[in-house]
């Protein structure tokens, strides 16, 4: 049971990082990114390929995962961030699917649908067992706290005040002599780097990556977690990720209590309940669980 709790908490930490990156982009800057799973996949495959094919260590692979994802965000930002927010949403949604299809098609590099296994994880000296899992969980929790605190410092800085002003009134920012494009692309790249880092952690934790791990479902779970927790609260992003992941994982035990219900029906019911929770949150607590009842 302890191993299962460690595994669930680890996944909450990884999804917490993804939700933090989206909170920075949407909650504080107003960037509608529907392709976060694409950057997540790039980070995961970068860590996997560098760690297996080139023999990089796990720490260097994690740094490269964040860098590759940030670099991938640059052309998307250059193409879309001078246009309306709708274009970024459409392009990022397509981008995530292109990344997944590329992973499947370029099997000479990614091993296609078979995926990549044997990915090295930090703390190999601890062997295989609960001690190693706990050390990896500690790494993720430290990363989660550092990212949340770092983002908090950023949004309270002069740069953060600019991006929040861009979110609230872009025209007013231009009148004051500030160009919104550069801060936007910086935020897009920073959020992508955090998502790529989370992807690298996921690859190392599981020890395997495959294209079926990076479907659009992941992005929308992150969006739901952010909205439920609070779009303008980094603590809310972590709380939202915890609430959604705990529900999705905990509800799997209902299968033992309801043997007459098929796995497909139970999965559909879980998503329906998550959707209902999202609607109720937006109606009665629009600021999220942490953002407050009247926060917008």
From its phi and psi, is residue 66 left (phi > 0), alpha (psi between -120 and 50) or beta? alpha
Give kind and range of the element (H or E) at residue 161: helix 158-168
Cα 109 to chain center, whole Å? 24
In angstroms, the CA 178 to CA 176 distance is 6
Residue 244 and residue 274 in contact, taking contact as beta carbons nearer than 8 Å: yes
The radius of gyration computed from the CA coordinates of the chain, to the nearest angstrom, equals: 19
The reply to whether 144 falls in a domain is yes
Asked if residue 109 is part of any domain, the answer here is yes
Structure tokens belonging to residue 78: 């250059």
241: in domain: no
Domain count, the chain: 1
pLDDT at 239 over 90: yes
**Residue 270 structure tokens:** 């879980």
Q: Is the per-residue pLDDT at 294 higher than 50?
A: no
Provide the domain limits for residue 25. Answer: 2-214
Residue listed under structure tokens 């099997």 = 107
- Is the CA virtual torsion 289, 149, 143, 215 positive or negative? positive
- pLDDT above 90 coverage of the chain, percent: 62
Query: Is the per-residue pLDDT at 296 higher than 70?
Result: no
pLDDT bin (cut points 50, 70, 90) of residue 85 is low
pLDDT tens digits, residue range 143-175? 999 999 999 999 999 999 999 998 888 877 887
Cα 119 from Cα 117, distance rounded (Å)? 6
Q: Does 285 reside within a domain?
A: no
Average pLDDT along the chain: 88
> Taking the CB of residue 187, how many other CB atoms lie within 10 A of it?
29
How far, CA to CA in Å, does 26 sit from each of 29, 78, 115, 186, 231?
5, 18, 31, 13, 7
pLDDT tops 50 at residue 48: yes
What burial class does residue 270 get, using C-beta atoms within 10 Å of its C-beta: 0-12 exposed, 13-18 middle, 19+ buried?
A: middle
What is the C-alpha separation between 36 and 56, in angstroms, rounded? Answer: 25
Tell me whether residue 183 is in a domain.
yes
| Average pLDDT score over residue span 250-255 | 68
Please tell me the predicted confidence (pLDDT) of residue 250. 76
State mean pLDDT over 254-265: 66
Q: Evaluate whether residue 272 is within a structural domain.
A: no
Measured CA to CA, the distance from residue 275 to residue 277 in angstroms comes to: 5
3 state DSSP class of 207:
coil
108-151 pLDDT, tens digit each: 999 999 999 999 888 877 777 788 889 999 999 999 999 999 99
Higher pLDDT, 123 or 58: 58
Residue 29 counted as domain residue: yes
Please check whether residue 289 lies inside any domain of the structure: no
**CA separation for the pair 275, 222 (Å, rounded):** 13
For the whole model, what pTM was predicted?
0.93
Q: Which two tokens stand for residue 169?
A: 């009134």
């Amino acid at each position: 049971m302890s191993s299962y709790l460690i595994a669930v908490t680890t996944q909450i930490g990884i999804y917490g990082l993804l939700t933090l990156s989206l909170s920075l982009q949407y909650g504080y800057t107003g960037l509608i990114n529907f392709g976060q799973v694409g950057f997540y996949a790039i980070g995961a495959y970068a860590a996997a390929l560098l760690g297996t094919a080139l023999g990089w260590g796990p720490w260097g692979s994690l740094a490269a995962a964040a860098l590759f994802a940030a670099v991938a965000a640059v052309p998307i930002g250059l193409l879309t961030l001078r246009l309306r927010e709708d274009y970024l949403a459409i392009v990022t949604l397509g981008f995530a699917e292109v990344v997944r299809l590329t992973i499947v098609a370029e099997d000479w590099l990614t091993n296609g649908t078979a995926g990549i296994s044997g990915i090295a994880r930090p703390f190999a000296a601890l062997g295989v067992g609960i001690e190693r899992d706990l050390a990896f969980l500690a790494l993720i929790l430290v990363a989660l706290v550092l990212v949340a605190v770092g983002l908090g410092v950023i949004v309270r800085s002069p740069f953060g005040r600019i991006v929040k002003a861009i979110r609230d009134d872009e025209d007013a920012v231009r009148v004051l002599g500030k160009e919104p494009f550069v801060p936007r692309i910086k935020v897009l790249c920073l959020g992508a780097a955090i998502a790529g880092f989370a992807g690298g952690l996921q690859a190392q934790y599981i020890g395997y990556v495959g294209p079926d791990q990076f479907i659009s479902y992941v992005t929308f779970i992150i969006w739901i977690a952010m909205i439920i927790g609070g779009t303008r609260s980094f603590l809310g992003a972590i709380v939202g990720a915890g609430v959604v992941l705990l529900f999705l994982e905990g509800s799997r035990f209902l299968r033992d209590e309801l043997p007459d219900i098929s796995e497909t029906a139970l999965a559909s019911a879980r998503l329906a309940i998550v959707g209902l929770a999202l609607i109720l949150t937006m109606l009665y607590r629009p600021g999220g669980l942490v953002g407050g009842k009247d926060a917008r």
